[in-house]
Amino acid sequence: MTTPDPIPFLDLKAQQARIAPELRRRLDAVLAHCQFVLGPEVAELEAALAGFCGAAHCVAVSSGTDALQIALMAEGIGPGDAVFLPAFTYTATAEVPLVLGATPVFVDVDPRTFQIDPAHLAQRIAAVRAAGRLRPRVLIGVDLFGQPADWPALAAIARREDLVTVDDLAQSFGCSLHGRMLGAAADATATSFFPSKPLGAYGDGGALFTESADRAALFRSLRTHGEGTTRYEVLRTGMNGRLDTLQAAVLLAKLAVFPEELAARERVAQVYDRHLGNLLEIPARVADSTSAWAIYSVLLPDAATRAHVQESLRAAGVPSAIYYPRPLHRQPAYRDAHDGTALPVSESISERILALPIHPDLSEHALSRICAAVQEALGR
């Protein structure tokens, strides 16, 4: 028996073919003016992104990780500070507080939407206050897999507890909650343009959003070595955190088709919902929201079934991926920072979760093959 043609997990070549003329025009403009760092496309992109998500200010930076770091540096976060974040997320969310000498405090997630659990957050803040070793300072809420976290609940807790809110929107730029796009839900919002994110560059990139002109000015200073009003005045310790002009040009070309791509991702998700909803646990929709569908993850009953399904899909030429096989408090690098609190939902999900391909160029034919392969793997 021959193996069927493999379906790509992500198809950036198909997307490139769709946007080729605009991409070429944008890149040629940069090659003509040669302002490769903070050229005019960067400011154009910042205005376009802020307009797109309804934020007052946008500062383009070198990656999603650097965006998070700049957001925390702007608050002076360091040793002795507690930064609350979900245990079930990408590594960068926990890495940034640790790099600055602060302590990540891991919070469990909702078993159906996979988003940070506000009730558990409140418990964790109370426990940190009771222990008295760390100062609760920041909440990093993550919008996981394309869906928004429960920002009204998170913001209410943060207000009560006097925490600064940082929205890690790396996976979910373009999602909305209660009719508003995310970008202004927290004191600072960080997103990523890593190539596989819904809005991806051709290399690393990221952006910060804020409603505060003072914070925006601080972000701009921090991304260029803490510079003041003149180039060689250094006001604070910053970093080299700028977005390349070439990446801004790529992102401008992609932003032009981003709304239709979000709609195409939603159509893929609906096909999966319809065809797989009676076979396994499909991702629960956050109420009154739209998703950017960075990742479509299903839950299987246990680790053994997941391994079987993944192997069976592989044989059928259908790729799948596991985000994330280990919650962050179980990572060797972060274990010692964890206070030992049980995080049972994050642990259970990491053993059972499986992501199926989702992108705007997934053909009807590929989609049918994927659904059939999942049905076959589960013996239906």
Ligand X SMILES: *Cc1c(COP(=O)(O)O)cnc(C)c1O
Q: Where on the chain is the footprint of ligand X (CB under 6 A)?
A: 63-65, 89-90, 92-93, 142, 168, 170-171, 192, 194, 204, 206
Residue 204 C-beta: closest distance to ligand X, Å? 6
Q: How far apart are CA 252 and CA 54, in angstroms?
A: 17
Q: Which residue is nearest to ligand X (CB)?
A: 64
Nearer to ligand X, 103 or 172 (CB): 172
Q: How far apart are CA 139 and CA 241, in angstroms?
A: 22
One-letter amino acid at 232 equals: Y
Nearer to ligand X, 74 or 276 (CB): 74
Residue 72 C-beta: closest distance to ligand X, Å? 13
Residue 266 makes CB contacts below 8 A (sequence gap 6+) with 290, 291, 293
Residue 56 C-beta: closest distance to ligand X, Å? 23
Nearer to ligand X, 218 or 295 (CB): 295
Q: How far apart are CA 145 and CA 327, in angstroms?
A: 15
Q: How far apart are CA 206 and CA 190, in angstroms?
A: 7
Residue 279 C-beta: closest distance to ligand X, Å? 27
Residue 70 C-beta: closest distance to ligand X, Å? 12
Extract the tokens encoding 16.
Answer: 């490139």
Nearer to ligand X, 70 or 366 (CB): 70
Residue 195 makes CB contacts below 8 A (sequence gap 6+) with 12, 201, 202, 203
Nearer to ligand X, 93 or 245 (CB): 93
Q: How far apart are CA 271 and CA 371, in angstroms?
A: 9
Contact 97, 124 (CB under 8 A): no
